[in-house]
Amino acid sequence: MPQHTMLIARGRLHPRGQREAERTWINVNQLNDGLRFINLIESAWRTAQAEELKPATQDRSWELCDPQWIDGNILILKAHIGYRGEPGDLHNEATGESVDDEDGNYIKRGRLRIVVAQNEGSPTTTYFFIESSHQGHLFIDLKMLIRKALKCLPSKLTFEAPYVLFSDDWFRGAELTKATIIRTSPARDLEEFSEGRGIEYEQRHTLQPKGRKIKFFAHKTRDNLSKKKVREMLELKDPPDGQEDQLQATFYRDGREKTMTVGEERTPTIREVLSKAGDPPISDEEFVRRARGWLKDFLSQDGDR
């Protein structure tokens, strides 16, 4: 079984063309004729074609499962994602057997699971708990679905969904268990370039500062987790000329592990490990139970950040 990770996104609607300082947020529970935004998402998922949702890469195939409702306010969306390639590398993660599509192309199956939640206590916000068994830009796929849902509305609306941080309080006293530096470089030689591979290649370096803890303060996680700050704490040197790097920091506290891609963006991307490689993924019931707890934490915080 592959490792399953999750990120949380917070989405809101506002009239298109409004400047950031002038935006008015739309009540997602009362759109046209009392229709809820979460119902539009369900409809978009049911009628979507795989071609409309898949990313630009042409080596994927999609299989969308029927949406499921929990208590009328929580929606579960699931899909299987296929990667085309050599049969020796491809297998069904449930059975371990090689799989293929109708044309005989071998497919490696991954899974995407999204819990969508709305709550009367936060009438302008829709929460997305996005779990996947593959590492990638998960939110790209979700935004395609949202774009399709918005086509059902006569008014021109924009969907804004910055990544949502886990509770800032969790990071106070969390231990930095490791940092992974991912550097990409040009092709190493002309032969690699001519063969269409090695145009970029990755070098991964992992540091494990034992017993080192980083102190954070509630509601200031964004400021404390800049790339420059983390590099200083780990005493990392700047990458060589001609190279760029990506920095991932892994934190551990109270039996929970979270990996953050640290960059210069306003809100870092944080993934939480739900099940490690070799362990079966958690059930839908357990995923929803955890999502309820996370949602309760968000609603108890003093306003959107």
Q: pLDDT tens per residue, the chain (305 residues)?
A: 567 777 777 788 888 888 888 889 989 888 877 788 898 888 888 877 655 555 444 455 567 788 899 888 899 988 776 655 544 444 555 555 555 554 555 455 567 788 888 887 788 888 888 887 765 555 556 666 677 777 777 678 887 765 555 555 666 667 777 777 766 655 444 444 444 444 444 556 666 655 555 554 434 444 455 566 666 656 666 666 655 566 777 777 778 777 776 655 444 556 777 777 667 778 889 888 888 887 887 777 644 44
Question: Is 110 found in the same domain as 59?
Answer: yes
Q: Identify whether residues 217 and 80 lie together within a single domain.
A: no
Domain match, 179 and 199 both: yes
What single-letter amino acid sits at 101? Answer: D
Q: Which amino acid is at 216?
A: F
Same domain, yes or no: 103 and 174? no
- Contact, 133 vs 281, CB < 8 A? yes
38 shares its domain with 128: yes
| Per-residue model confidence (pLDDT) at position 162 | 58
The model's pTM is 0.65
Residue 92 lies in a domain: yes
Q: Give residue 69's pLDDT.
A: 92
Measured between alpha carbons, how far is 43 from 37 in angstroms, rounded to an integer? 10
- Compute the C-alpha angle 50/161/114, nearest 5°: 45
Residues 295/119, Cβ–Cβ less than 8 Å:
yes
Last residue of a domain, one of 160, 182, 199: 160
Our count of domains for the chain comes to 2
Is 55 domain-assigned?
A: yes
Domain boundary pick from 104, 138, 160: 160
Within-domain flag for 212: yes
Q: Domain residues for 59?
A: 4-160
